[in-house]
Structure formats: structure tokens, C-alpha cells
Structure 1
């Protein structure tokens, strides 16, 4: 039986019969209708003097208090070990931590350790997402879709332009913050080490000066650049012809060897596609493939003007190297090509399906080359696409 059924005086009287009157425990237990173990427990409890019993009670209470304090300090220490990463975070992050660990420790203790009010946590638990948080979740989905559509290329600036065209009112800093939360970033190119080139610079056959600000329409200045792609079969050299006005690639070719035919095929494609008026200025870089006689004959046949830029011409290289950097950074660096034909298909897909119709450029105000030219011709109210560049 439980001792809680008996009064304090009853217990003292039972102990007195055993101690003072010398009666046996079984006899007293049977007479009082209690079990012997219960009576033995009363003897241990009340068989000592009053002052000794009070001292023992105080010691036991102090021991229980110390055990409870030790347990609280230990739990607080464990809370800090797990929650130290959120101590300096926002209140909502702390609420999420409490929600994830409230089964291990009391909620109020977690709130005290993280320095938040329990009422705030309970209000958050009833509605975890605010209007702003729900809008951020929606924006993260749009950002992820735009980033995937770009092939994992765009950074926060170009994605901001994409979202604004969709009618979303968002700033670039907010897009950068949301991209950081979901681990998205723009494509990063190769690390380039500065070096010196001691070769003798080429002399242009006919010097024609130009400036980017003077290029006010298509087919005025074309830029030729050559790069290469590594494959298991060797290098694949790629020559491209870009229109400085819109940065559009108007011609390209890919061959397994660096030869004058590589540049001639890219120029032939550009002439076939654009049908330019006489006087287009074609800008070359420093290289033997640009100094062949048959290339000069081609330029003369289609009345194109040649301009070979000086070595380390920052004004020219900043434009000409643009496409090569984009190609290497956004496609080539991410893949390993087994054959030259696989790399050639990659170049064709990048130029025709992404770079010209979709790739946004800062020079064009965040528009793709095709869209930039389309808007330019709309402003001309249907004027023909041929433009005379002989005044350069």
C-alpha cells in the first residue's frame, strides 16, 4: 500500500509501537493493516530524532535542487553546441531551429537560450511563412527556371533583366541574395596568367581607324577571332565573325588545323548571310592566318576593308575576345569532348540556339543580338538592311 493514504500522526504512532514498546514489525503491521515493507520505510523515515530528520530533509531537497540545476546547465550547453550556428541569425532561423529540436528540450528553455520570446515562436508556428517569405519562395522558383534556361550561365544581373521582362518588380540585390540561398552563380571562366609576346607585330595591308562609338548600324565593322577547343582527337580551331554593332556572330567555321581556309570559310558564311554593302571594315588580330594572299583577294573581291589591330589593343581585344571567353566559359569548360565532330556540334548549338537569339549583353542594354537588331530595324521603319559603310 502507498504511504500517501495514511496521516502523519498514524505513521508516527506505528513507529512508536515498534521502537518504544518493543513490538515486532510483523505484529504491528498486521494489527494496523499495513504491509511490513511500508512499516520498515516508516521506521527509516521517522525512527530518527526530529532535528536529524529535518537536516536530512534539507539535504535531500538541496541535492534534488543541485541535480535539477546540473540537468538544466547540461541541456543549455548542449543547446548552445547545436544552436551556435543560429545565434547570430535572424529570428525566423531561430524559430526554425526551435521547431526542429523542441522534441529534445523544452520550448521555453530553447527560447531563453536563443534569446527569443516564446509567444513569438508560437505565433510563427501558427503561420511559418509571411507574405514576404512566400514571395521569396516564388521568386526562387522563377530564378531557378531562368538560370536553367540559360544553361547555368547567367548571373544575378542578367537574371534580373529576365525577371523584369516577365513583369516582376525586383532589384538585383534581392536576386543576388535569393541566388545565394539556393546556391546558384554565373559561369566562371579559366584563370588566365599574364605573359609576354616577343614576336614582331604584323603590319596591316591598309590601315583604317575606327571607334566603337561610330558603329551605329549593322554591317559596318566585323570582328574576326580564332580560338580552339581541346578534344581527345586533338585541337579543334574555331573562327568567328562578329558584328560589332550587336555582337552577333554572323559567320563561323571549325577545322582541325589552323589554316587560311578556316578564316575564309567564316568570312564566306558572313558574306552569304548578311549580303553587306561595300566598305565593311573587317578587323583581324595578330596571326599568320590573317596575312595570306588569298584572304586579301577575298576581301578585295567583296570590297571589304581590312584592319589588323596592334598587339595588346585593349579596345579591340575587349570586343574580339568576348565571344571566345563566353564560349570557353559557358560551354567548353564544363565538358570533355571525345571527337572533333562533337565539339563542332557544340559550337553550332551554342551560336545558333543560345548566343545569337538568347544571350544578353551589357553592350546592347541587356538584349540578345537578334533582339537588338530587330529593334534597330523597327526604329528605321522598314528601311532595307543594306547599309553603306564606305564612310569609315
Structure 2
């Protein structure tokens, strides 16, 4: 200890005075706050970064700065799961005849079932892929329909649409925005859209930002669920996706675009 004190150029008495000194009030408050932060972080299964943890604390009536939350999380090495999404358009999709992109023409939705957005992503399972199709209400960001399949085809897209139609019962005039995938351009899919009076809007070639809300959902899903778990089979994956969407994403997950409410909370508050 004497050699260490000499190296640091401090006295032995000064070192022992520092070591035996009680924690400051701020340090005690930080320790108490960190416990609350860890509880929220654990409840989100590591999905929340400091902005959402800060908003969750505010909703619980705690007065604290966002910078302080970020500092404590950084010191405790509590980081949100993140995932980059890469997509490459197949040449055949780019060659398809385009439908109008109504999203560029319309104002943002102001209520339920005015504008939906749909897309498909793949989930690696062993040496094969399982495909997930989802439909999202652009007003509340709520996932209103989804389906899983080993096959990427119109049947998968229609299965997700059927769930959404059954749950939401939209009036004619709804706009459904999709990418240029053949599963959405198929005659069977077009017949369903015509039957329910749904206008089909399509993204521009290579512009995944036209469908940014669903892309954001896929990014969250893969970071917060898929890449953190192993799934023995399709049934197990389906059960976990159902739990993630129905229990967490739609009902609990805070969305910055919704003033830090969940989609269900946002719809009920309207």
C-alpha cells in the first residue's frame, strides 16, 4: 500500500480517509435510480436503450434527466439490442409494372384503418428460411396481421391480410402500401384487395424508405427476439413471434413516434 500511495503521490492517511468516507447523497441517489433502470431494462428483456428507459421512468412519475439515465446505463453497460437490416431488390421485382405510390400523394393518416403497410422478411432456420409477412397500421404502428410460412408466395401475404381484415374490419377505401414483391402483385392477392375495396399502393424501385415503418419493425423484431433465441421448429418460432407482437410490441413497447406510448395505448388515448 505504501508503494502504491507513493506512486499516486497521495498520503496513506488521505487514502484511508477516502476509502472510509461514506457515499455522497448523489451517489446514493444514483444507486437507487440504477435499480429502477435495471428493473425497466430487464422487463424489456434488454430491448430498451436510454431514451425509452427515460420515458418509462417519467411515466412512473420519476423526475430525472435523460443524460443522467444515459450515464448510469453506460456505466452499468446496459445497451439496447440493435440490428442492421440489409435488403437487396431482385431484378425481377424492379421490372414489374408499378402501381401508384399513394403514400407520396396522401397526407399522414389521422385514424385507424386509413393506411396500412405490408412487407415480408426472412428468418434463417437451420439451412432453410421461414418467411414472416406482417401488416402494420401506419397511424398507430400496430401490427394488425401476420403469418409465417416456409414458402414466399401470395398465400403467405393473403394469410396476413386475412388476419388483419378479420380483426380490424376496415371500410372500403383503405390504402395498403407494399413493396414490389410478386407475392403482392399476384392475381390472387389483387382479387382480395378488390373484394374489400382496398387501394394498392406500391413503393418506388429500390426505395425501401417508402415502407420505413415496417422495416423498422423488422429491425426491432430481429434485434430483440430472433437473434437472441434458438427455435427448434416453426411452431416454437410462431409461439415466440405471437408473444412478442401481441404481448410486448403492440401493448408495451414504447414508440418515440407515438410520444412514447405503445400502439394499443396510442389507439385508446385517441
SS of the aligned residue for 1:214 comes to coil
Higher strand share: 2
Give the 5 Å matches for 1:314-329. Answer: 314-329=208-223
Displacement of 1:211 in angstroms is 5.8
Q: Deviations over 1:256-310 (max 9, x none)?
A: 1112111111111111111111100001112111111111111111111101111
How many Å separate the matches in 2 of 1:268 and 1:208? 22
Higher helix share: 1
2:236: which partner in 1?
342
1:267: which partner in 2?
161
Displacement of 1:341 in angstroms is 1.1
1:178: which partner in 2?
72
SS of the aligned residue for 2:146 comes to strand
Runs of 4+ in 1 over 2 A off after TM superposition: 110-124, 194-214, 312-315
Q: Which structure is higher in RCO with an 8 Å CA cutoff and minimum separation 6?
A: 2
The TM-score normalised by the length of structure 2 is: 0.91
Q: Deviations over 1:55-83 (max 9, x none)?
A: xxxxxxxxxxxxxxxxx9xx53xx1xxxx
Q: Deviations over 1:96-130 (max 9, x none)?
A: xxxxxxxxxxxxxx3883547946853762x5211
Q: Given the superposition, is the C-alpha separation of residues 137 and 296 from structure 1 closer, same or farther in structure 2, using an over 3 Å criterion?
A: same
Please, which runs of 5 or more residues in structure 2 have no aligned partner? none
How many Å separate the matches in 1 of 2:199 and 2:90? 27
Q: Deviations over 1:4-23 (max 9, x none)?
A: xxxxxxxxxxxxxxxxxxxx
1:244 has 2:138 as partner: yes
How many Å separate the matches in 1 of 2:232 and 2:133? 20
Please, which runs of 5 or more residues in structure 1 have no aligned partner? 1-71, 80-109, 377-392
How many Å separate the matches in 2 of 1:149 and 1:121? 40
Give the 5 Å matches for 1:50-199. Answer: 75-76=2-3, 79=4, 110=5, 113-115=8-10, 118=13, 122=17, 125=20, 127-190=21-84, 192=86, 198-199=91-92
How many Å separate the matches in 2 of 1:114 and 1:355? 55
SS of the aligned residue for 2:120 comes to strand
- Say if 2:178 and 2:211, in contact at 8 Å, map to a contact too: no
User: Which one has the largest radius of gyration?
Assistant: 1
Question: How well do the aligned residues superpose, as a CA RMSD in angstroms?
Answer: 2.4
- Say if 1:201 and 1:310, in contact at 8 Å, map to a contact too: no
1:307 has 2:201 as partner: yes
The TM-score normalised by the length of structure 1 is: 0.64
